[in-house]
A = this chain, B = another copy of it.
Amino acid sequence: MTRQIIVADDHPLFREALKAAVGRLEPGTGFVEADSVAALLAAVEAEPDADLLLLDLNMPGAQGFNALAHVRGTRPGLPVAIVSADDDPQTIASALRYGAQGFIPKSTEAGQIGRAVEAVLAGEIYTPPGYHPPRGSGATDEDLEIARRIAELTPQQFRVLGMLCSGLLNKQIAYDLDVSEATVKAHVTAILRKLGVATRTQAVLAAGRLATDRASVKPPPEDSD
């Protein structure tokens, strides 16, 4: 039985490097790749028996720790190792508090990445050498509460939440997901309930608290001035 690892990163080249670094130690390893949150969700659903998820924090559509929180909620048995270019102690501490089993800075050298992955697969919690938990751990209790609620969302609801956070209208979401607008509204209602808020705007604000970088809304078209 070959072990399965899901590699979620929007950078194709980096995915290759990651696979090479991991596959070198265990040639029989199978990989599933995802370059977006949508693909990540699909991969997680399609591979219920995956052994590990290597997750980049800066993926388009997955503001920060939202994807981590959601995967931890829907697949509690699937270990997640964060792979990120942002390696300051605050970010690492947050990732661990949100349930990641490991944190691998992108600056890590290949051989060390392989060993880190093996460590996480063996059930250890991997942190970069020299890492110390900072004083204020970056994620407040309120943030963890948000994460807990996001973890309760179904995959489809999580997709919709991501689109809400992009500022899309129900109509646009319905078109993208190829369902009726009534269905989208039902999902939105479920999201509002689970997040404990009353409007989509409040839901976006809540989800935004788990973001590391600001979402880019959309390029303002700008015609007049």
Contacts and interface: CB of A to CB of B under 8 A. Distances in A.
Interface residues of A, number: 30
Nearest to A149: B220
A197 B217 contact: yes
A204 interface: yes
A201 B145 contact: no
Contacts of A205: 165, 167, 204, 208, 215, 217
Interface in A181-225: 195-202, 204-206, 208-209, 211, 214-222
A217 B222 contact: no
A142 interface: yes
A169 B75 CA distance: 36
A-side interface mostly: loop
A59 interface: no
Most buried by B among A164, A197, A200, A201: A201
B208 A169 contact: no
Given A167-B202, A199-B167, A214 B208 contact: yes
Nearest to A223: B196
5 contacts: A167-B199, A204-B205, A205-B217, A208-B214, A211-B214
